[in-house]
């Protein structure tokens, strides 16, 4: 999954927060973080991971005023 940020300076902070939440995250562009879920073994777990990622990003955005993000499944 890709997360595109309105403020590229926030990408490293988001990447670090995702890694603390047991996601594999890496910057693929200045404004983009790619995320994978090594623990998701089947489609149901992958769907749950995408849902959790959406809520995680919303909570992260609430703590980072001025940032906006688009989660692209």
Residue 60 above 90 pLDDT?
yes
Only one residue has tokens 């998701």, namely 40
pTM of the model: 0.85
- The pLDDT tens digits of the residues spanning 2-53 come to 999 999 999 999 999 999 988 899 999 999 999 988 888 899 998 998 899 9
pLDDT value at residue 56: 94
Query: Region 44-66: what's the mean pLDDT?
Result: 91
CB 33 within 8 A of CB 18: yes
State the pLDDT at residue 21. Answer: 87
Cα separation, 24 vs 22, in Å, equals 7
Cα–Cα distance, 72 to 30 (Å, whole number): 16
Q: What is the pLDDT of residue 73?
A: 64
């Amino acid at each position: 999954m890709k997360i595109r940020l309105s403020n590229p300076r926030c990408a490293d902070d988001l990447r670090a927060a995702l890694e603390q939440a047991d996601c594999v995250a890496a910057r693929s562009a200045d404004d983009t973080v790619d995320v994978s879920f090594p623990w998701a073994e089947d489609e149901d777990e992958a769907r749950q991971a995408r849902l959790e990622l959406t809520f995680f990003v919303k909570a992260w955005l609430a703590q980072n005023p001025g940032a906006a993000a688009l989660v692209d499944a």
